[in-house]
Chain A
Amino acid sequence: MSAGTFSPEVREALQRLILSLADTKRMLGIRYSDWLLGAPSIESGIATASMSQDEWGHARLLYAMLKDFGVDPVEIEHSRPPGAYCSAACLDEPFADWAAVVAGIVVVDGTLSLALEGFASGAYDAARRRIPKMLAEEAFHRDFGHAWIRRISAGTDEGRERLAAAVEPMLADAITCLLPDDEEAGLLAGAGLTAPARAARTRLARRLAEPLSGLGTAPATDPPLPADWISSRRRPAGEPAGDAVERARGDRNRALFVE
């Protein structure tokens, strides 16, 4: 089904879903790019660079879907202030260390992929066509993250502690922002556009149980909506750091745009 076949309420919710997924992809790409040269080995840095580019490519494909809603994706990509971004809050600031990068790959990228799987299986044609290729590329992100989480889990106490400290808040935020269990999510699931939030969260818990087992923590996958939740942005109050948004928008290259 195309966007025009849905009711105005569903169309509005669908547009917000797409923007949330696209903005999270874009900010995740920025956060990976922060670590291109600080990774533990040349190979892991190259993989991180490639994942960063994957995320930006995926973001661009998702932004392009907004044309179906009469929205200009170029304006959306290059002109919004930080306060208009709908990305997951755990990406507002850079990852503090490599353990946090690994947590981001497993938890944030993993939750994002699960949300995209539900979207690709739904009734919106553009998602059914465009998302499967993204998910094929994401399989390498998952393998990379899971291999690294096994490596850290089998290492020192300090490594495990740093990883666990990064995972816990990230997991709560990623689930809240990417698999929200609110009225609008119910509207989208009811229209056959996404999987119901409860089912998606249960699936995520099963998927993350093995990679997180080495940390001695089971994922708490039913976080409540925070008090400062903003439905229109599908995230709590706050915004990505200004320098990250400047990079995302390409502010310094604006005079060179050829689009």
Chain B
Amino acid sequence: MEEAVYDVFARKRRSEPLRHIGYVDAIDDALARVYAWKTYDEENWFEMCVVRRSHIIPVNRIDGPYAARATGRLGRRPGAGR
């Protein structure tokens, strides 16, 4: 079973937009939820969401970390930091 990259989005208040705060590697959605909540627990988040990076559809670039669908690459770039 291969792990996938999940991007983590969160906001501290209802009035704020969700913003990208980082990512986790996980084997499925259930573990991605737990890993995100436990890894990025430095704030009292109003809302947190995770999305599998390969489900993000790039619009104007095919060379970034979110271009997995367009390029067929999955996961994060080799050597990419957290």
* Chain A residues packing against B (C-beta within 8 Å): 41-44, 46-47, 50-51, 140, 143-144, 146-148, 150-151, 154-155
A43 to B6, CA, bound (A): 12
User: Chain A contacts of B25 at CB under 8 A?
Assistant: 41-43
User: Chain A contacts of B41 at CB under 8 A?
Assistant: 50
Evaluate contact between B3 and A47: CB separation under 8 angstroms: no
Evaluate contact between A144 and B34: CB separation under 8 angstroms: yes
Q: Which of A43, A143, A146, A155 contacts B39 (CB 8 A)?
A: A43
Shortest beta-carbon distance, B60 to chain A, in Å? 31
Closest to A155 in B: B1
Evaluate contact between B35 and A47: CB separation under 8 angstroms: yes
Produce 1/0 per residue, B24-51, CB < 8 A to A.
Answer: 1111101101110111010000000000
Closest to A141 in B: B34
Evaluate contact between B37 and A140: CB separation under 8 angstroms: yes
User: Chain B contacts of A155 at CB under 8 A?
Assistant: 1
Q: Which of B1, B27, B28, B38 contacts A46 (CB 8 A)?
A: B38
Q: Which of A140, A147, A148, A151 contacts B38 (CB 8 A)?
A: A140
Dominant secondary structure at the A interface: helix
Shortest beta-carbon distance, A27 to chain B, in Å? 21
User: Chain B contacts of A144 at CB under 8 A?
Assistant: 31, 34, 38
Closest to A151 in B: B27
User: Chain B contacts of A148 at CB under 8 A?
Assistant: 31
Shortest beta-carbon distance, B55 to chain A, in Å? 19
Shortest beta-carbon distance, B24 to chain A, in Å? 5
User: Chain B contacts of A51 at CB under 8 A?
Assistant: 38
Produce 1/0 per residue, B2-27, CB < 8 A to A.
Answer: 01000000000000000000001111
Evaluate contact between B35 and A46: CB separation under 8 angstroms: yes
User: Chain B contacts of A146 at CB under 8 A?
Assistant: 30
Shortest beta-carbon distance, B43 to chain A, in Å? 14
Q: Which of B1, B24, B27, B33 contacts A143 (CB 8 A)?
A: B33
A154 to B30, CA, bound (A): 15
A-B contact pairs, 19 of them (CB 8 A): A43-B24, A43-B26, A43-B35, A43-B39, A44-B35, A46-B35, A47-B35, A140-B34, A140-B37, A140-B38, A143-B30, A144-B31, A144-B38, A147-B27, A147-B30, A147-B34, A151-B1, A151-B27, A151-B28
A129 to B39, CA, bound (A): 28
Evaluate contact between A147 and B28: CB separation under 8 angstroms: yes
Known A143-B30, A144-B31; contact A41-B3, beta-carbon cutoff 8 A = yes
Shortest beta-carbon distance, B70 to chain A, in Å? 26
A45 to B51, CA, bound (A): 21
Shortest beta-carbon distance, A103 to chain B, in Å? 17
A144 to B30, CA, bound (A): 7
Shortest beta-carbon distance, B47 to chain A, in Å? 15
Known A41-B25, A151-B1; contact A47-B33, beta-carbon cutoff 8 A = no
A42 to B76, CA, bound (A): 15
Shortest beta-carbon distance, B20 to chain A, in Å? 17
Closest to B39 in A: A46
A51 to B39, CA, bound (A): 11
Q: A144-B31, A151-B27 are in contact. List 19 more A-B contacts (CB 8 A).
A: A41-B3, A42-B25, A43-B25, A43-B31, A43-B39, A44-B35, A46-B35, A47-B34, A47-B35, A47-B38, A47-B39, A50-B38, A140-B33, A143-B33, A144-B34, A146-B30, A147-B27, A148-B31, A151-B28
